[in-house]
Amino acid sequence: MTRELLPIASPRRTWAALWTEVRALRWLGVATLVTAIGASAGGLVAPWVLGTMVDDIAGGAGINDTAGGAGRGPVVTAAVIIAVAALGTGVLTALSSALLSRLGETVLARLRERVLDRALHLPGATLDRVGTGDLLSRVGDDVSSVTTALVTTGPQLVSALLTIGLTAGGLFALDWRLGLAGLVAAPLYVLAVRWYLPRSGPFYARERVAVGERAQAMVSSLQAGQTVRAYRLEDEHTSAVERRSRAAMDLSVGVFRLFTRLVGRLNRAEFVGLAAILASGFLLVRADLVTVGATTAAALYFHRLFNPIGAVILQFDEIQSAGASLARLVGVASLDRPRPPAVVREPEGAGLELTGVGHRYEDGPRVLSGVSVRVAPGERLAVVGASGAGKSTLAGIVAGVLDPVAGEVRVGGVPVGELDRGRHLAMLSQEVHVFSGPLVADLRLACPDADLDDVRAALSLVGAMDWVRALPEGLDTVVGESAHRLTAAQAQQVALARLVLADPTVAILDEATAEAGSAGARDLERAAVAATKGRTTVIVAHRLTQAELADRVLVLDHGQVVETGTHADLVAAGGRYAELWRSWTGAG
């Protein structure tokens, strides 16, 4: 199954988006351009002056016998001009480099903030379709790739391009014929690039894939070492890594071979250009059209171009890949934020009502049909059923995360679509996540205005304050994957505390205590009851004790309601639920 991807902006759209951002920083943009041109132009002074000096000396050499102290004037002047130009170039280089970074970094920061905002606000259905994988690579890899390009490649590229442009201009300014001679090399450069790029792009892409596969094979073998040993898969995994490492190595060597052939072509272009300038200089000097000094300056100019031209060509690949990442970022940034409902209505009361709710995913089979149930304000309803019975789908629909194909959900008489959902509905999903950072920041995500007392109260309510106090830095302890790792039970308590802080009218718990695994499950159940006390609650029950604690139980089978009633009634009725309960308690 190939997943759908988030949009990728067209090149035109990408440029337009960038241009809009740069225009917003107009003066910064102008200042950057002016200083960058100045800095590159400053680099042209020295070869020019050297050329003049060569002519002066050559001229002086003709009247060598009369040379005295006065003859040294031009040399001193030349040295002074070069020195002054150097100081000016230094200042302009510093300014342009800093300004260019400021411009690029600011634009990037704005872009990444927009991308994340859109990513977090993706509609539930879209998120389920694209999965988090694509989204993660946009906010992670793509942002990193553009950042790297911006910090390292970008400034080099801009200064290289300006240097090339200005130096070419300088060549023509020396003498148009010398300039033309230099241009002889241009087609060779173009050919080299046109030979290289179509070959290198796919090659690099394959190399990146191979390197990724190699890393993955290593990660998976090493992380699952225990399982590898238990099933005696050592040889199999070693040879899998060996195969991939070898494949990646062969591709890296292949890519480099291709690259050396490009460099060969660049060297050829360098030689042709340099020889052309020297040869035409020779002819022009003989015809008395230019001076030896001008030829010298032209040769030095051209020699100066070797590095920047190489730099531009060698960075083409990186620019292409950064460009691709940028298009992926702009694609997400250009998404519309979901609009809030046109009319927001306040619910009257906290009752929950489902009428004829049915659902199917895309063109798949019906996973829910004809579910109708009323949950009184403050009542706890447990939903019980086998995997695939439709429990989580029902929870998603009640929470307004999924739009049902049929039927309607109302809270206090108001359809879910017309509610301020964030205020009235909250759901704890199966995927418990602890946000990296100080624990208090994690909790405040649910309610940014909460003060420390509120946070502590929420934690106490779910019975988490004891272990929180025992953390090395209490509420300020940095938690998450790479810092202090919370146990599964603690993570669920944090999620419950977030729910308390979010303070919804209707709470939906989807298997929120499933992963606790051991005896701690009981404490979590108590915590869940405390967190949802007084709220209308729908709880997807994993453990039957969760159902036992609820006011009413709804049994789902293949998307349909087969039983509803209190725990005691259902046990007494001797139906599906009673059967489950018997085997669960070991009484059967």
**Window 22-41: residues binding other proteins (CB under 8 A):** 39
Number of amino acids touching other proteins (CB under 8 A): 175
In the complex, the smallest distance separating the C-beta of residue 322 from other proteins, rounded to whole angstroms, is 15
In the complex, the smallest distance separating the C-beta of residue 40 from other proteins, rounded to whole angstroms, is 10
| Residue 536 host element (H or E) | strand 536-540
In the complex, the smallest distance separating the C-beta of residue 534 from other proteins, rounded to whole angstroms, is 17
Distance CA 471, CA 482 (A): 16
228 is an interface residue for other proteins by CB under 8 A:
yes
3-state secondary structure at position 350: coil
Sign of CA dihedral 166, 170, 171, 172: positive
In the complex, the smallest distance separating the C-beta of residue 220 from other proteins, rounded to whole angstroms, is 5
445 is an interface residue for other proteins by CB under 8 A:
yes
Instruction: List the helix and strand counts (H, then E) for the chain.
Output: 22, 12
Residue 33 tokens read as: 């351009």
Question: Which DSSP category does 484 fall into?
Answer: B
Q: Are 296 and 51 in contact (CB under 8 A)?
A: yes
Cβ-based nearer residue to other proteins, 116 or 183: 116
> Per CB under 8 A, which region of 74-82, 367-375, 462-470, 562-570 contacts other proteins?
74-82
Q: Are 251 and 213 in contact (CB under 8 A)?
A: no
3-state secondary structure at position 479: strand
Question: Which DSSP category does 435 fall into?
Answer: P
Cβ-based nearer residue to other proteins, 377 or 480: 480
CA-based nearest residue to 171, from 284, 249, 64: 284
448 is an interface residue for other proteins by CB under 8 A:
yes
Distance CA 197, CA 21 (A): 29
In the complex, the smallest distance separating the C-beta of residue 451 from other proteins, rounded to whole angstroms, is 15
- Using CB under 8 A as the binding rule, the residues of this chain from 354 to 393 that contact other proteins are 384-388, 391
Residue 8 tokens read as: 């990728």
Amino acid symbol at 522:
R
Q: Which of 173, 245, 378, 560 binds other proteins (CB under 8 A)?
A: 245
126 is an interface residue for other proteins by CB under 8 A:
no
Cβ-based nearer residue to other proteins, 101 or 564: 101
Residues 6+ apart with CB under 8 A from 249: none
109-139 burial: b if 16+ Cβ within 10 Å, else e = eebbebbbebbeebeeeebbbbeeebbeebb
In the complex, the smallest distance separating the C-beta of residue 293 from other proteins, rounded to whole angstroms, is 9
In the complex, the smallest distance separating the C-beta of residue 12 from other proteins, rounded to whole angstroms, is 27
42 is an interface residue for other proteins by CB under 8 A:
yes
Question: By CB neighbour count within 10 A (0-12 exposed, 13-18 middle, 19+ buried), where does 38 fall?
Answer: middle
CA-based nearest residue to 34, from 90, 100, 124, 127: 100
191 is an interface residue for other proteins by CB under 8 A:
no
Cβ-based nearer residue to other proteins, 406 or 488: 488
Q: What's the chain's length in residues?
A: 588
Cα atoms in the Cβ-side hemisphere of radius 13 Å centred on 287? 10
Q: What is the CA radius of gyration of the chain?
A: 35
Concatenating the DSSP letter of every residue in 377-398 gives: TT-EEEEE--TTSSHHHHHHHH
Cβ-based nearer residue to other proteins, 430 or 566: 430
In the complex, the smallest distance separating the C-beta of residue 238 from other proteins, rounded to whole angstroms, is 5
Cβ-based nearer residue to other proteins, 53 or 414: 53
Residue 583 tokens read as: 């085997």
530 is an interface residue for other proteins by CB under 8 A:
no
Question: By CB neighbour count within 10 A (0-12 exposed, 13-18 middle, 19+ buried), where does 63 fall?
Answer: exposed
Q: Which of 124, 323, 341, 565 binds other proteins (CB under 8 A)?
A: 124
In the complex, the smallest distance separating the C-beta of residue 382 from other proteins, rounded to whole angstroms, is 11
229 is an interface residue for other proteins by CB under 8 A:
yes
Q: Which of 34, 101, 403, 477 binds other proteins (CB under 8 A)?
A: 101
CA-based nearest residue to 298, from 275, 326, 269, 321: 275
Residue 138 tokens read as: 């946009």
Cβ-based nearer residue to other proteins, 340 or 349: 340
> Per CB under 8 A, which region of 218-226, 314-322, 340-348, 531-539 contacts other proteins?
218-226
435 is an interface residue for other proteins by CB under 8 A:
yes
Q: Which of 499, 506, 527, 553 binds other proteins (CB under 8 A)?
A: 499
Cβ-based nearer residue to other proteins, 13 or 576: 576
Cβ-based nearer residue to other proteins, 397 or 427: 427
580 is an interface residue for other proteins by CB under 8 A:
yes
10 is an interface residue for other proteins by CB under 8 A:
no
> Per CB under 8 A, which region of 211-219, 309-317, 402-410, 451-459 contacts other proteins?
211-219
Distance CA 53, CA 68 (A): 16
Cβ-based nearer residue to other proteins, 267 or 566: 267
151 is an interface residue for other proteins by CB under 8 A:
yes
Q: Which of 18, 34, 188, 263 binds other proteins (CB under 8 A)?
A: 263
Amino acid symbol at 403:
D
Distance CA 77, CA 57 (A): 13
> Per CB under 8 A, which region of 311-319, 374-382, 510-518, 565-573 contacts other proteins?
510-518
Residues 6+ apart with CB under 8 A from 410: 352, 353, 355, 416
436 is an interface residue for other proteins by CB under 8 A:
yes
> Which residue is it, tokens 């004829």?
356
Q: Which of 36, 85, 440, 538 binds other proteins (CB under 8 A)?
A: 85
258 is an interface residue for other proteins by CB under 8 A:
no
2 is an interface residue for other proteins by CB under 8 A:
no
Sign of CA dihedral 397, 398, 401, 407: positive
- Using CB under 8 A as the binding rule, the residues of this chain from 401 to 430 that contact other proteins are 401, 421-423, 425-430
Q: Which of 120, 209, 452, 572 binds other proteins (CB under 8 A)?
A: 120
Q: What angle in degrees, to the nearest 10, is found between the helix axes of 176-183 and 154-174?
A: 130
Q: Which of 144, 372, 568, 572 binds other proteins (CB under 8 A)?
A: 144
> Which residue is it, tokens 């998307």?
559
177 is an interface residue for other proteins by CB under 8 A:
no
Q: Which of 220, 355, 477, 560 binds other proteins (CB under 8 A)?
A: 220
